[in-house]
């Protein structure tokens, strides 16, 4: 395939977007861009630098001097790989908080569009099909029930050796769903032309196949 094509994958947290997008990218030989990781990196940096979570001059200055990129699948914040630093429950909430700020979204959406216009990519997030890559050739909205998503995350955290109570994981998921769907700017929503895929009860391989079938 010579033409550039873009695949947008949106959906709530814990629906498996990253796992699926990464695998589909590897099979198609295209780049994967995890936009959630970008909001996580900004939330992490704001917290580290004590920047208030509101539109303020300190935030503007910080964003102007912030560099975010992906190199070989690693997320690089100001020259440092921050993969593991941004995958904590605390940073999940910081990311959700900073993602409601127009200054933050404006900066990250600009970077995401420039990444998505150069080459074929699969990009996942909340507003890719509705805003970042409105003209993406393929749009998928990946969902699963809150309980199924909490269960998957619960097992994942256990496997990683950082267990959390199931109830706390479920509450975190519900809180983030609420934040993501009710924020004023580019809330989580299915694009009219996106295909919805509910993954309840499906294995990872089944979901990968379903996505590959959709974009064939
Ligand atoms: O996908 P994730 O859990 O890593 O995303 C972290 C937070 O970033 C999530 O609460 C919503 C926000 N986000 C967003 O607002 N827009 C995106 N395109 C991606 C993520």
Q: For 151-179, how does the pLDDT look when each residue is reduced to its tens digit (9 = 90+)?
A: 998 998 899 898 999 999 999 899 989 98
Report whether pLDDT(85) > 80: yes
**CA neighbor of 44 nearest in space, from 101, 102, 83, 13:** 83
* Ligand 1 nearest-atom number relative to CA 14: 3
**Dihedral sign of CA atoms 177, 178, 179, 183 in order:** positive
Q: Closest residue (by CA) to atom 20 of ligand 1?
A: 36
How many Å lie between the centroid of ligand 1 and the Cα of residue 28?
24
Residue nearest to atom 13 of ligand 1 (CA): 36
Could you tell me which of 132, 149, 140 has the C-alpha nearest to residue 11? Answer: 140
CA of 153 to the centre of ligand 1 (A): 16
Over pLDDT 90: what percentage of the chain?
A: 88
pLDDT over 60 (residue 1): no
Strand partners of residue 122: 7, 32
Answer for the pair 153, 88: CB distance below 8 angstroms, yes or no: no
Name the 3-class secondary structure at 32: strand
Rounded to 5 degrees, what angle do the CA atoms 44, 188, 156 make? 55
pTM of the model: 0.93
Question: How remote is the CA of residue 96 from the centroid of ligand 1, in Å?
Answer: 6
CA of residue 209 to ligand 1 center, whole Å: 24
Distance, CA of 210 to CA of 35 (rounded, Å): 22
The model's confidence at residue 88, banded by pLDDT at 50, 70 and 90, is: confident
118 vs 102: CA distance, rounded Å: 25
Residue 70 CA to ligand 1 centre (angstroms): 16
Nearest to 68 by CA among 97, 100, 43: 43
- The secondary structure of residue 194, as a DSSP letter, is P
For 34, the token pair is 């995890």
* Ligand 1: nearest atom to the Cα of 37: 4
Residue 40 CB less than 6 A away from ligand 1? yes
What pairing do the DSSP bridges indicate for beta strands 31-34 and 121-125?
parallel
Count of other CB atoms within 10 angstroms of residue 108:
22
Atom of ligand 1 nearest to the CA of 183: 15
């Amino acid at each position: 395939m010579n033409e550039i094509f873009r695949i947008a994958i949106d959906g709530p947290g814990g629906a498996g977007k990253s796992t699926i997008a990464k695998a589909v990218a590897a099979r198609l030989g295209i780049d994967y861009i995890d936009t959630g990781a970008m909001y996580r990196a900004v939330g992490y940096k704001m917290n580290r630098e004590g920047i208030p979570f509101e539109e303020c001059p300190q935030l503007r200055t910080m964003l102007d001097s912030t560099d975010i990129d992906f190199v070989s699948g690693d997320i690089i914040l100001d020259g440092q790989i921050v993969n593991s630093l941004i995958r904590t429950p605390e940073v999940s909430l910081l990311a959700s908080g900073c993602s409601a700020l127009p200054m933050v979204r404006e900066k990250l959406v600009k970077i995401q569009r420039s990444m998505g216009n150069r080459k074929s990519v699969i990009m996942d997030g909340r507003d890719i099909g509705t805003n970042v890559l409105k003209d993406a050739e393929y749009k998928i909205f990946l969902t699963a029930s809150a309980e199924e998503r909490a269960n998957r995350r619960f097992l994942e955290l256990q496997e990683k050796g950082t267990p959390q109570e199931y109830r706390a994981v479920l509450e975190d998921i519900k809180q983030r769903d609420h934040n993501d769907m009710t924020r004023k700017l580019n809330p989580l929503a299915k694009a009219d032309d996106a295909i919805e895929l509910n993954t309840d009860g499906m294995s990872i391989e089944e979901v990968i196949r379903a996505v590959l079938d959709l974009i064939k």
